[in-house]
């Protein structure tokens, strides 16, 4: 539901700023706008993904006549819609996978620009903890220092971190959750 709030909230705030008492009346128009807008990740509108075709709005009639195929019977219509949904779903899945890979590549490139960690380096691990009744802002989120047990693979961003004197007490952490200690001579145990 977080993505839903992120998608709808900006439009709702814009409308509510102009008509604070009527935002609930205008919500269907916001939803129409959302459902008929092409989404960057999938390359399709939610209506196209859900119904297998775009919906026709009155504004479309002013620009041109809708190009709708004629069907002999209801079964032909149902089969065509099912085929359109399947084709659209496969294309959207491919585009979504491509967008995910692109975002992952961008994220990993940013991480590789950070300082490299080697075996034996002292690091802190990001582990936010919130005690009941206390503010998260006031609690420390970094635990450690701990030792990098093994170097990562060439392209991997996960590290094996030794948590205690016992070499079998290993925690696997992503590079984003590790911070290199400035004091590399201190040993925690």
Q: How far separated are the first and last CA of the chain, in Å rounded?
A: 44
For the segment 4-37, what is each residue's pLDDT rounded down to a tens digit? 666 676 766 666 666 667 777 878 888 888 888 8
Write the CATH number of the domain with boundaries 122-180: 2.30.30
For the segment 100-143, what is each residue's pLDDT rounded down to a tens digit? 999 888 877 776 666 778 888 889 988 877 666 655 655 667 88
Q: Are 125 and 173 in contact (CB under 8 A)?
A: yes
Rounded (5°) CA angle 159-161-164: 175
For the segment 147-162, what is each residue's pLDDT rounded down to a tens digit? 988 877 666 778 889 9
Quickly tell me which residue has 């709005």 as its tokens. Answer: 57
Whether the pLDDT of residue 65 is over 60: the answer is yes
Whether the pLDDT of residue 55 is over 90: the answer is no
- Give the pLDDT band (50/70/90) at residue 167: confident
Task: State phi, psi for 180 to the nearest 5 degrees.
Answer: -70, 130
How buried is residue 153: exposed, middle or buried, by Cβ count under 10 Å (0-12/13-18/19+)? exposed
Whether the pLDDT of residue 186 is over 70: the answer is no
Whether the pLDDT of residue 78 is over 60: the answer is yes
Q: What is the pLDDT of residue 113?
A: 61
Task: State phi, psi for 171 to the nearest 5 degrees.
Answer: -120, 135
Q: What is the pLDDT of residue 154?
A: 62
Question: Could you tell me the residue ranges of all domains in the chain?
Answer: 2-111, 122-180
**What average pLDDT does this structure show over 161-175?**
86
Whether the pLDDT of residue 82 is over 90: the answer is yes
Quickly tell me which residue has 């009941």 as its tokens. Answer: 132
Q: What is the DSSP letter of 159?
A: E
For the segment 84-97, what is each residue's pLDDT rounded down to a tens digit? 999 999 999 999 99
Structure tokens at 74: 């209801």
Single pTM value for the model: 0.53
Distances (CA, A) of 79 to 54, 74, 91: 17, 9, 18
For residues 100, 106, 111 and 112, what is the CA-based torsion angle, rounded to 10 degrees?
120
Beta bridge partners of 47: none
Distances (CA, A) of 188 to 6, 162, 163, 164, 174: 43, 11, 9, 8, 21
Task: State phi, psi for 134 to the nearest 5 degrees.
Answer: -120, 160
Q: Write the CB contacts of 108 (distance below 8 Å, at least 6 apart in sequence).
A: 157
**What average pLDDT does this structure show over 51-78?**
80
Q: What is the pLDDT of residue 106?
A: 83
């Amino acid at each position: 539901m977080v993505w839903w709030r992120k998608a709808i909230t900006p439009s709702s705030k814009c409308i509510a700023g102009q008509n604070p008492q009527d935002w609930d009346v205008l919500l269907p128009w916001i939803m129409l706008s959302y459902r008929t807008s092409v989404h960057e990740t999938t390359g399709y509108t939610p209506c196209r993904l859900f119904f297998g075709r775009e919906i026709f709005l009155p504004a479309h009639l002013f620009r041109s006549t809708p190009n709708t195929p004629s069907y002999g019977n209801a079964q032909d219509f149902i089969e065509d819609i099912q085929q359109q949904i399947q084709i659209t779903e496969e294309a959207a899945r491919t585009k979504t996978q491509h967008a995910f890979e692109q975002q992952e590549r961008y994220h990993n490139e940013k991480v590789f620009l950070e300082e490299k960690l080697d075996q034996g380096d002292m690091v802190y691990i990001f582990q936010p903890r919130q005690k009941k009744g206390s503010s998260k802002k006031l609690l420390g989120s970094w635990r450690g220092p701990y030792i990098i047990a093994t170097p990562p693979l060439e392209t991997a961003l996960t590290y094996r971190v030794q948590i205690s004197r016992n070499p079998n007490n290993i925690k696997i952490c992503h590079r984003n959750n590790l911070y290199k200690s400035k004091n590399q001579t201190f040993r925690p145990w």
